[in-house]
Amino acid sequence: MPVSGSVAGVNLDADTEGTPVDSIVRDNISFDFKVWNVSVSLTEDAIGNNTSVAISTQICVNSGFCHTPATMTLEEIANGTYSGSVTPMDDHTYINWRIILSYEDNTTERLPASGWSKIWSDCWLDLHSEPPLWGGNGCPEEVDDEGFLPSIGVLGTTATLMLAGATYINRKNKD
């Protein structure tokens, strides 16, 4: 079943009813530079059919950019239970993820069938709200807006380059 559209800060999980997945256990929040864990337990039928389990993850950051999805095979840690993890980078918003089941007849099944499951970070920026809103329990009291400070650096760099160019031209004209 597809996962419907998301609401900022609300985790999404695939519906596993009627699938070879008995249960999915995962961390409820993701944190910058900390391992996010997921484990998948298969039904008895799926275990008997030699089903293998992988996960595809896509990490999105607060600037609105989403990295290319990466797929990894989950490690079987018990009979029919598979586990894996991913470590998100700094300033991530959420982790998109889906389970990929592979069968002996070389067919695959994705959960969710379309779209992604989603885990939100402890500090995220909702770029779809007007104005954009910060959320999560891990954000600083006041989020640094940077305001005019970056422009000071740009102005300083520009002035330095202009001065260097003028000096170069002045010396060239004296020669």
Our CA angle for 38, 42, 47, nearest 5°, is 135
166 assigned to some structural domain:
no
pLDDT tens-place string over residues 10-56: 999 999 999 999 999 999 999 999 999 999 999 998 998 889 999 99
| Number of domains into which the chain is organized | 1
Range list of H helices, the chain: 44-48, 149-174
123 assigned to some structural domain:
yes
Q: What is the CATH number of the domain that holds 81?
A: 2.60.40.10
120 assigned to some structural domain:
yes
156 assigned to some structural domain:
no
Residue 104 or 112, more confident? 112
For the cut 60, the answer to whether the pLDDT of residue 155 exceeds it is no
pLDDT tens-place string over residues 87-96: 999 999 999 9
SS3 (DSSP) at 58: strand
32 assigned to some structural domain:
yes
| Average pLDDT for 63-92 | 96
pTM of the model: 0.76
Q: Which domain holds residue 117?
A: 21-134
CA atoms of 31 and 20, how far apart (whole Å): 30
The three-state DSSP-derived secondary structure of 60-87 is: EECCCCECCCEEEECEEEECCEEEEEEC
